[in-house]
Amino acid sequence: MKLINVGFDNAVNADRIVAVVAPDSAPIKRLMQAAKEQGRLLDATQGRKTASVIITDCDYVILSYLTADRIVGMD
């Protein structure tokens, strides 16, 4: 199992990641809102601006303050 750092000593199992996307588009904002309402949103930003959204194969949505380039470049 390989872990990917998503900031502030938080990590995600790399095998479970489906996509790392920017939070700017309307579909991603709707996805984040739906995940929040269903209790599947994990906020790893610690109050910082969300720079990327990580979508997992088990339908969890993880918010990170790191950009997608930095997350993907860490593997």
Q: Where are the domains of the chain?
A: 3-72
- How far apart are alpha carbons 75 and 71 in whole angstroms? 8
Distance of CA 46 to the CA centre of its chain: 13
Whole-model pTM over 0.85: yes
CB 66 within 8 A of CB 21: no
C-alpha count within 13 angstroms, C-beta hemisphere, residue 29: 3
Q: For 54-71, what is each residue's pLDDT tens digit? A: 999 999 999 999 999 999
State residue 57 phi and psi, 5-degree precision.
-75, -10
pLDDT in tens, 17-39: 999 999 999 999 999 999 999 99
